[in-house]
């Protein structure tokens, strides 16, 4: 009887050992990042307005279910009218990857021109069909593109040389602006010749504004039409301002000027001056 009990115990222990061994053999390992590249030439950076290169060889015994990429900003940042300080990226990929054990995950992410330069945190998250999850983290630097070329101004319609305008007449100008990288700001001002202003200092504080904008048809090109009525009480600044004080309508010689700035590099492009006469 004792021998029978001992035999039964040994048999039970043997079966338990076999079950544990089988479970370990059946256990599916979490996905593995065999290789990983981030940025051009694996430099961990991307130029704003360009693409971020991602490449990783992933081995998933349990077959890939989803691959998720997230990018978020790190550190302090200041808000700007031209910069999206809240830009983040979050996308899940399945097409071409789901159900595969061994893949080369190769993607390019567009970095918008409005994204703020600086340090970001990158996450590559792989989940297999067994629910196992692996994550690769990396630092990512977004770089301001080099831009040494000023935007160009092209005028399609403008007042004739020394054209005379009287109270109630519309002064109009139209054309287009272009930049090889990205447009940043556009200003069209009506300037009193007596002010003696240089083109570079003309802005919304010292001239009558026909147009002031930072919104464009596209990053690199914008068509515009702008006008102001002689004698108008308010101009067309982003926040319209009263045409009073030193800017008050008076008879005399004026000129129109179009200024355009790129988003990077601080370069300004200018139209020629379009002189005109106002008789109040």
- Phi and psi at 277, nearest 5°, equal -120, 135
Q: Is 206 exposed, middle or buried (0-12, 13-18, 19+ CB in 10 A)?
A: middle
User: Are residues 268 and 165 part of one domain?
Assistant: yes
238-262: per-residue pLDDT in tens? 999 999 999 999 999 999 999 999 9
Is the pLDDT confidence value at 14 over 60?
A: no
179-208: per-residue pLDDT in tens? 999 999 999 999 999 999 999 999 999 999
With CA atoms as reference, report the closest residue to 70 among 89, 87, 52, 85.
89
Q: The pTM is what?
A: 0.71
251 within domain boundaries: yes
77 within domain boundaries: yes
How far apart, in Å, are the Cα atoms of 78 and each of 61, 65, 85, 86? 45, 38, 7, 10
User: Are residues 128 and 198 part of one domain?
Assistant: no
User: Are residues 222 and 273 part of one domain?
Assistant: yes
Q: Which domain holds residue 114?
A: 32-143
188 within domain boundaries: yes
21 within domain boundaries: no
Give the helix/strand (H/E) hosting 2. helix 2-26
Helix (H, G, I), strand (E, B) or coil at 222: strand
Q: What is the pLDDT of residue 216?
A: 95
Q: Residue 91: which CATH number?
A: 2.60.40.2550
Q: How far apart are CA 232 and CA 278, in angstroms?
A: 13
8 within domain boundaries: no
3-state helix, strand, coil in the chain (%, to 5): 15, 45, 40
Better-scored residue on pLDDT, 40 or 30: 30
User: Are residues 122 and 163 part of one domain?
Assistant: no
Is the pLDDT confidence value at 221 over 60?
A: yes
213 within domain boundaries: yes
Is the pLDDT confidence value at 81 over 80?
A: no
């Amino acid at each position: 009887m004792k021998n029978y009990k001992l035999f039964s115990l040994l048999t039970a222990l043997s079966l338990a050992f076999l079950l544990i061994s089988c479970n370990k053999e059946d256990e599916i390992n979490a996905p593995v990042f065999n290789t990983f590249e981030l940025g051009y030439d694996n430099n961990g950076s991307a130029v704003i307005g360009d693409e971020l290169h991602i490449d990783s060889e992933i081995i998933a015994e349990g077959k890939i279910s989803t691959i998720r990429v997230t990018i978020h900003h790190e550190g302090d940042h200041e808000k700007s009218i031209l910069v999206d300080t809240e830009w983040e990226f979050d996308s899940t990929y399945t097409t071409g990857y789901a159900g595969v054990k061994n893949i080369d995950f190769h993607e390019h992410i567009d970095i918008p021109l409005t994204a703020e330069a600086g340090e970001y945190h990158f996450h590559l998250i792989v989940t297999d069909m067994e629910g196992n999850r692996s994550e690769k983290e990396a630092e990512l630097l977004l770089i301001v593109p080099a831009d040494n070329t000023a935007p160009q101004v092209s005028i399609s319609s403008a007042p004739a040389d020394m054209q005379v305008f009287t109270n109630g007449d519309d002064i109009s100008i139209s054309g287009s602006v272009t930049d090889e990288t990205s447009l940043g700001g556009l200003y069209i001002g009506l300037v009193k010749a007596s002010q003696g202003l240089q083109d570079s200092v003309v802005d919304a504080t010292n001239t009558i504004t026909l147009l002031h904008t930072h919104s464009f048809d596209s990053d690199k090109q914008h068509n515009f039409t702008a006008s102001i009525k002689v004698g108008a009480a308010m101009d067309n600044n982003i926040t319209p301002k009263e045409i009073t004080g030193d800017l008050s309508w008076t008879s005399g010689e004026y000129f129109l000027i179009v200024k355009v700035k790129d988003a990077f590099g601080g370069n300004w492009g200018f139209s020629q001056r379009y002189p005109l006469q106002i008789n109040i």
